[in-house]
Amino acid sequence: MAASPAGVSGFYKVLGVVALVGAAALIYMVKKPKDVSIPANVAVLAADTAGFRGYLLGSDSAAVEVSEYADFQCPACQEFETVQFPSVRQQLIETGRVRWRYRDFPLAQHVHSRVASHAAACANDQGKYWELHALLYQHQSEWFGKRDASGSFRQYARDAGLDVPAYDTCMQSAKYAGRIQASVDEGTKLGVGSTPSFLIGGRLYMGSLSSDSLRALVLALSAKPAP
C-alpha cells in the first residue's frame, strides 16, 4: 500500500528537524571552547618575568608599596577584595600614598585558581586586567564549585569587554603558566603560607586585614602627614 502524501510530508519534516538538530549540535561542538588547564610547578624562564613584577595600581612615587599575595578561589581573598579593598583603593591608592602590587598565589586545593589567574593575565593583554580581576572575585560563588569554570571565566571576559577570540587563543596557549609559577615561588620564598598575605614595609602579614588596619600601617611607614 503506497504511503499517503501527508505521511511522506510528515516523514520529511521529521527528517529535516533531525538534520537541523544534528547540524546545530555539530556547530556547538566546533565552537564550544575547549576545557582549559594551566600546568603547575613549571620551569620559570627569564621571559616569564622580564619587565613584569606584578599587577600594579597607584603612583610610582607612592611612599609605601603593598604587595598582596592572593588566590581568586580563596573566600577570605574574595571578602577582602569586595569589602575592604574599595576603601583601600579610595583612601590609600587614589590619594597617592600606596602603590598596590597584586601577586598570584594559587593554593593547591583550589582547582580553578590557576585558570582564574591565567584568565586575568590574558585580560591584561587587552588592558582589562582589573576589570576581570573584579568580576572573578565578585562572582566567585558562581564558579567556585563547578567541575570546569573556564566557561564562566570566558563569560566574564566577554562582560569585561574583551575580544573573546583573542582571549580564547591566550587561554589555550597557557603562555602565562610560568609567570604564575614565578609569583608562587616569590611568595613561598617570603614565607607566604595562606591567602591573603600582605608584604608591607618588609614585613609579612598573613590573613585578611581591614582597611583601617592597612591605613594605620601605611601612615606609620609614610613620611607624609596624616590628612
For residue 58, what pLDDT is reported?
Answer: 97
Instruction: Please state, in angstroms and rounded to a whole number, the distance separating the CA atoms of residues 115 and 111.
Output: 8
Q: What nine digits make up the cell of 10? A: 510528515
130-164 residue pLDDT tens: 999 999 999 999 999 999 999 999 999 999 999 99
SS3 197: strand
For residue 222, what pLDDT is reported?
Answer: 83
SS3 206: strand
Backbone phi, psi, residue 57, to 5°: -135, 140
How do strand 98-104 and strand 55-57 relate by DSSP bridges? antiparallel
For residue 151, what pLDDT is reported?
Answer: 96
Positions in the chain short of pLDDT 70: 1-34, 223-227
Per-domain residue ranges of the chain:
46-221
Does pTM surpass 0.85? no
The fold of 46-221 is Glutaredoxin (3.40.30)
Instruction: Please state, in angstroms and rounded to a whole number, the distance separating the CA atoms of residues 181 and 193.
Output: 15
User: Could you tell me what percent of the chain has a pLDDT over 70?
Assistant: 83
For residue 29, what pLDDT is reported?
Answer: 40
For residue 63, what pLDDT is reported?
Answer: 93
For residue 16, what pLDDT is reported?
Answer: 55
36-47 residue pLDDT tens: 889 999 999 999
For residue 3, what pLDDT is reported?
Answer: 55
